Amino acid sequence: MRQEEALAWDKLAVFLLRPTVGLFVGRFQPLHRGHLEAIKDLMKKVDELVIVIGSSQYSHTLENPFTAGERVKMVRLALAETGIDAGRCYIIPVADVNVHNIWVAHVVAHTPRFDVVFTNEPLTRRLFIEAGFKVKPIKFHDRGRCSATNIRERMLKGKSWEALVPKSVAKFIKQINGAERLRELQV
Amino acid sequence: MRQEEALAWDKLAVFLLRPTVGLFVGRFQPLHRGHLEAIKDLMKKVDELVIVIGSSQYSHTLENPFTAGERVKMVRLALAETGIDAGRCYIIPVADVNVHNIWVAHVVAHTPRFDVVFTNEPLTRRLFIEAGFKVKPIKFHDRGRCSATNIRERMLKGKSWEALVPKSVAKFIKQINGAERLRELQV
Amino acid sequence: MRQEEALAWDKLAVFLLRPTVGLFVGRFQPLHRGHLEAIKDLMKKVDELVIVIGSSQYSHTLENPFTAGERVKMVRLALAETGIDAGRCYIIPVADVNVHNIWVAHVVAHTPRFDVVFTNEPLTRRLFIEAGFKVKPIKFHDRGRCSATNIRERMLKGKSWEALVPKSVAKFIKQINGAERLRELQV
Amino acid sequence: MRQEEALAWDKLAVFLLRPTVGLFVGRFQPLHRGHLEAIKDLMKKVDELVIVIGSSQYSHTLENPFTAGERVKMVRLALAETGIDAGRCYIIPVADVNVHNIWVAHVVAHTPRFDVVFTNEPLTRRLFIEAGFKVKPIKFHDRGRCSATNIRERMLKGKSWEALVPKSVAKFIKQINGAERLRELQV
Amino acid sequence: MRQEEALAWDKLAVFLLRPTVGLFVGRFQPLHRGHLEAIKDLMKKVDELVIVIGSSQYSHTLENPFTAGERVKMVRLALAETGIDAGRCYIIPVADVNVHNIWVAHVVAHTPRFDVVFTNEPLTRRLFIEAGFKVKPIKFHDRGRCSATNIRERMLKGKSWEALVPKSVAKFIKQINGAERLRELQV
Amino acid sequence: MRQEEALAWDKLAVFLLRPTVGLFVGRFQPLHRGHLEAIKDLMKKVDELVIVIGSSQYSHTLENPFTAGERVKMVRLALAETGIDAGRCYIIPVADVNVHNIWVAHVVAHTPRFDVVFTNEPLTRRLFIEAGFKVKPIKFHDRGRCSATNIRERMLKGKSWEALVPKSVAKFIKQINGAERLRELQV
């Protein structure tokens, strides 16, 4: 067998045997138990998961209080708390481009190859489908309480929010005085 | 002991016991053995390492042939090949802002907290020092041959380059026809 | 007559005989019968018409569902349906710059020379007047029903909208599943 | 005493004897009596004052009717009217970056060194404190009436607003037909 | 036949009968006889041609002396001079995004649907092929002399350049004092 | 005389009696004696001078070592050293927009009204003339030695440069270790 043929076989084998990779996009402001349950669920369906931290450029607003770096840390802490193998996940901040028709290309450029996109967000779904990707829905966990909007509102009002996020994430948010930051941003 | 005191002690303990985190910035166009030796060396000095993939927005040029996502993959492959615990590393693409005086703030916003910056690049060193960070040099490994510039030149000229990068990275670059891409970009 | 003089005469003649060019700015989300009636009316007043497709960078939102390319196509289809000579019109997408005081210069840079601006939009009117341009109002056609806002609302609610846009435009919007796209973008 | 020592002494002396510099950030849409009273008050507390004209890129909107250049002029006129030494003030337009975590670095890059920030705005306060700056509140003057929002509303409704701004500023706004511009921007 | 079926047939027919559309990208600094010959040649191969004026945001430099609007005019004049039907061509300025991996998505967003890309430029070719488009080469016409670089150099040196561009384009460049502008830009 | 007439007379008087304002654009990397002599000369010709600090966003490069804020300080120090009335000058940083055809509009938006532009730079001259402004040349002072390029080169080589800039500026550059910064930026 000549070298070229060997190379072609090698490429085919790589293609057939390559792992299934999923993409999961969230803003994680902050990461909550619903996000973590979804990630745990997806880890059963794919070999590797690319977790995109969307709107990465924003922080210090009522909608986006935490920096991309803080959110990277939250995801890592949650994975570790749950015992998910860090080597099977990528955690990648991706900035909004505010021009929807190039957003998918922008995500693709910042992430390792992926096979399937998991999202319930209508625009994300639409854009990936128009670009030819396979898109699947996510099973939500206790959606009424476990929403980042609800958690930020509870932080603003001084209500308890700790039980709605993984323990290590709650501890981290307290270390960086996250709830206090949110309250100070409110006029 | 009241709750406030407990909280203060908790924060102090967190501060004293927190892991040492290093920051390492590279463009990884492509990741080579010199990068990997440096990372292996740094992993002995710090508890966690934040690996920043700089100039993340660029790709498909002679200087920056690979996308941020492809470079994330290269770093991950190299870590796995060497047996470095993925859970102790962050791999984070960060775009150039082209305005040097805000670049450090931009990096800080995209990364988990870090204690020390490892770099030999004069501008990076200067900017982090002016911003009050501790900066240390990196021991280079076989710098004459193991430079990304040298590797890209060899790819362009059709010379062998595979031995200069980790095995898994060489395999990956072949899968995505990296050397071919580089040659096609040349007029 | 020397060559220089001839050149000067040539330039003067060009100036005196040059065609009157109008500028018409719209977002065309989507192009409707009111737009087309206005264009037909303006074509009687000027020799050439520069049709600027404003906010060209936006698409896939409830306010701006269609891409610049799709809107270029709509304008071209409407011109052809009405028998307007394509050679007398320019159809040019121009992005918003979000900094009003440079917007006129931005439009001027992207368009052939024009003599008069047709607009009813207060900000556009003000900015062109401050920059020294002649600005004239547009006669609106059936403004109550023929507004892009009204059409998008009807699309969202699943009501009929086809009669409010030129026939060829209605056909095109159906081909690209435009109304469906709009509904999917709605949460 | 050797030259090096002399240089070191020189630097120390410079440090000890250097003037106290304050930073004051406003949008000045338009500059009103409240701003001017605050500036007069601050001039008693610092040797030099850096007056930053924020959101400098915006103009010709209901929220930001005046250009940065027009606002520079307003500040200068108000200083002159009050007899404040122009040589003790810097008037510097600084654009919004819309990415809060790099905004402080952006301001620092555009201004001479300053020692203390004067602001009552929660986000500005929070961002400068997180970046390690000393922040102090401003005493407001007749806040109910002397707010730029109130003045713009009065301009829009055709009510009198002249008494709420310094005389020279009122005269300048009339020269540039400021109130008329605002009314034309309203649909 | 029910309405749904009719619609499906209608869509299929549209697909089968739809015109072949080509994409041609150039900077046209300035448009020369080589460009025009290529366009004439392509008009025989496709039903419609989308002519993209690349790097549209640049002007007043030695590399890019003419504005996008001036280049739109040149293309239109050349089409008219040759008798090409304006209704079969689109002339669309598209700005560089300086991030190659999103450039194809950016072009797609600004243009009507196209089936095949005509280019000899290595990067353009590579990017469209990676994005799954059909790419074909262009036959060049008198490439030694008919290059925009050569024409700009002749303009700078005060040599004759008029014969290298279509007559109407030469006349237009003289009207706007194009060669003079170029010489003034040279230090 | 009715109120309207009075207002019209007031506006006319303002127009006739208004001061002559000049515009002077420089990068001031760093400000040198040639700049200062030019400013002194211009102050005799105009009532007020708007000094624009161009390329304001850049710093920490070999071409642009100093921040906009540091350059504002240099201009102020030089004016004070020479006894020029700060109240007759505006010192305004203006960022490059890298799109030449909107640059003049960008400068106009950031500066108070001006009547005449002083520049020897070909592009600046051309752009202001095309926009309809009066442009006059500047008398250069000892141009061979007093150029910012020459000064930066001397700093890089460790040669003396102090005599080429005003005394207060030399002192300031030493305080911020300017020459050292430049040398560290060099690879």
pLDDT at C139: 86
Q: What is the pLDDT of residue C39?
A: 97
Pick from A180, A184, A186, A187 the residue to mutate for testing the D interface (most D CBs within 10 Å). A184
E131-165 per-residue burial string, b: 16 or more CB within 10 A, e: under 16: bebebeebeebeeeebebebbbebbbeeeebeebb
CB atoms C122 and D58 under 8 Å = no
Tens digit of each residue's pLDDT (9 = 90 or more) over F129-167: 989 999 999 987 877 788 999 999 999 999 999 999 999
Assembly ipTM:
0.90
Rounded mean pLDDT of C81-102? 93
Closest CA in chain E for residue A109: E101
DSSP per-residue string spanning chain A: --HHHHHHHHHHHHHHHPPPEEEEEE--TT--HHHHHHHHHHHHH-SEEEEEE-STT--SSSS--S-HHHHHHHHHHHHHHHT--GGGEEEEE----S-HHHHHHHHHHHS---SEEE---HHHHHHHHHTT-EEE----SSTTT--HHHHHHHHHHT---GGGS-HHHHHHHHHTTHHHHHHHH--
Check whether B73 has a pLDDT greater than 90.
yes
Residue of chain B whose alpha carbon sits nearest to that of D101: B109
Q: In F, which residues are within 8 Å of B122 by CB distance?
A: 184-187
Partners of residue C14 in chain E, C-beta under 8 Å: 175
* Identity of the residue in B102, B108, B109 whose CB atom sits nearest the CB atom of D109: B102
Preceding peptide of F166 cis, ω within 30°: no
Which percentage of chain A shows pLDDT scores above 70? Answer: 90
Interface test with A, best of D106, D121, D123 (most A CBs within 10 A): D123
pLDDT exceeds cutoff 80 at C8: no
Nearest-CB residue to E109 (from C59, C112, C174): C59
CB nearest B110 (choices: A68, A109, A113) = A68
Q: For F46-55, what is each residue's pLDDT tens digit? A: 999 999 999 9
F4 pLDDT exceeds 80? no
* Per-residue pLDDT at C5: 65
C14 falls in which pLDDT band (50, 70, 90)? low
Q: Do C99 and D58 touch (CB under 8 A)?
A: yes
Given a contact cutoff of 8 angstroms between Cβ atoms, the answer to whether A71 and A158 are in contact is no
Q: Do chains A and B touch (3 or more CB pairs under 8 A)?
A: yes
* Chain B positions touching chain A (beta carbons under 8 Å): 7, 11, 14, 56-57, 59, 67-70, 72-73, 76, 80, 85-87, 90-93, 95, 108-113, 174-175
Which chains share 3+ C-beta pairs under 8 angstroms with C? A, D, E, F
* Contact of A119 with A25, CB cutoff 8 Å: yes
pLDDT digits (tens, 9 = 90+) for A28-66: 999 999 999 999 999 999 999 999 999 999 999 999 999
Residue A19, pLDDT > 90, answer no
Average pLDDT in the B151-165 region?
97
Helix axes E68-82, E33-45, angle to 10 degrees: 60
Chain C residues with CB within 8 Å of chain A CB? 57-61, 67, 181, 184-187
pLDDT at D72: 98
Tokens 């050797």 locate to D2
Average pLDDT in the B135-162 region? Answer: 92
Q: Give pTM, 2 decimals.
A: 0.87
Tell me the nearest-neighbour CA distance from B35 into chain D, angstroms: 29
Query: So what's the pLDDT on residue F140?
Result: 78
Answer yes or no: are the C-beta atoms of D77 and D168 closer than 8 Å.
yes
Chain B residues contacting F via beta carbons under 8 Å: 99-101, 122-123, 125-127
Across the interface, of D60, D184, D186, the residue whose CB is closest to C100 is D60
**Cβ(A38)–Cβ(A89) below 8 Å:** no
Q: Which amino acid makes up residue F29? A: Q
Query: Phi and psi (nearest 5°) for C45?
Result: -95, -25
Phi, psi of B149 (to 5 degrees): -60, -50
Is the pLDDT at B45 greater than 70? The verdict is: yes
The answer, yes or no, to whether residue C187 has pLDDT greater than 60, is yes
Top-confidence residue, B133 or A13: B133
- Touching status, chains F and A (3+ beta-carbon pairs under 8 Å): no
How buried is B4 (Cβ within 10 angstroms: 0-12 exposed, 13-18 middle, 19+ buried)? exposed
Question: Cβ contact (<8 Å) for A60 and D101?
Answer: yes
The predicted structure's pLDDT at residue F7: 59
Diameter over CA atoms, chain A:
73
Cα(B110)–Cα(A58) distance, rounded to whole angstroms? Answer: 10
Q: What does the alpha-carbon distance between residue A127 and residue B4 come to, in Å, rounded to a whole number?
A: 49
Looking at per-residue confidence, does A131 or D10 come out higher?
A131
Using CB atoms, which chains have 3+ pairs under 8 A with B?
A, D, E, F
Distance from CA of B137 to the nearest CA of E (A): 31
State yes or no: pLDDT of D172 exceeds 90.
Answer: yes
Q: Output the pLDDT for position E3.
A: 61
Task: Determine which of D15-24, E56-65, E110-119, F95-104 has the lowest per-residue pLDDT on average.
Answer: D15-24
Cα–chain center distance at E74: 11
pLDDT digits (tens, 9 = 90+) for D99-135: 888 999 999 999 999 999 999 888 899 999 989 999 9
Percent of chain A having pLDDT more than 90? 76
The reported pLDDT for the residue numbered A186 is 85
| CB within 8 Å: E184 and F101 | no
Q: Residue A104: its chain C contacts at CB < 8 A?
A: none
Quick one: pLDDT at residue E99?
Answer: 83
pLDDT band for position E26 (cuts 50, 70, 90): very high
Name the amino acid, one letter, at C24: F
Mean pLDDT score across all residues of chain B: 91
DSSP single-letter state for residue C139: -
CB contact under 8 A, D57 and C99: yes
Within 8 A of C172 by CB-CB distance, chain E residues are none
CB-based contact D99 A185, cutoff 8 Å: no
Burial of D44: CB neighbours in 10 Å, binned 0-12, 13-18, 19+: exposed
Chain D positions touching A184 (Cβ under 8 A) are 122, 125-126
pLDDT band (50, 70, 90) for residue F90: very high
At E134-155, the pLDDT tens digits run 999 998 787 778 899 999 999 9
Tell me which of D55, D58, D60 to substitute to probe the interface with C (most C C-beta atoms closer than 10 Å). D60
Q: Is the pLDDT of residue B113 over 70?
A: yes
pLDDT above 70 for C21: yes
For residue range C118-137, what is the model confidence (pLDDT) as tens digits? 998 888 999 999 899 999 99
Q: Is A185 in Cβ contact with D126 (below 8 Å)?
A: yes
Say if residue E90 is exposed, middle or buried (CB neighbours under 10 Å; 0-12, 13-18, 19+): buried
Residues 6 or more apart in contact with residue B103 via CB below 8 angstroms: B96, B97, B127
Neighboring chains of D (3 or more beta-carbon pairs < 8 A): A, B, C, F
F135 Cβ contact list (under 8 Å, min separation 6): F116, F117, F118, F119, F125, F128, F129
Q: Would the pLDDT of A5 be above 80? A: no
pLDDT in tens, C137-175: 998 787 778 899 999 999 999 999 999 999 999 999 999
Higher pLDDT, E15 or D135: D135
Neighbours of chain A (3+ CB pairs under 8 A): B, C, D, E
Residue F119 contacts by C-beta under 8 Å, 6 or more apart in sequence?
A: F24, F25, F125, F128, F135, F137, F138
Average pLDDT over residues F2-26: 73
Interchain contact A/D (3 or more Cβ pairs less than 8 Å): yes
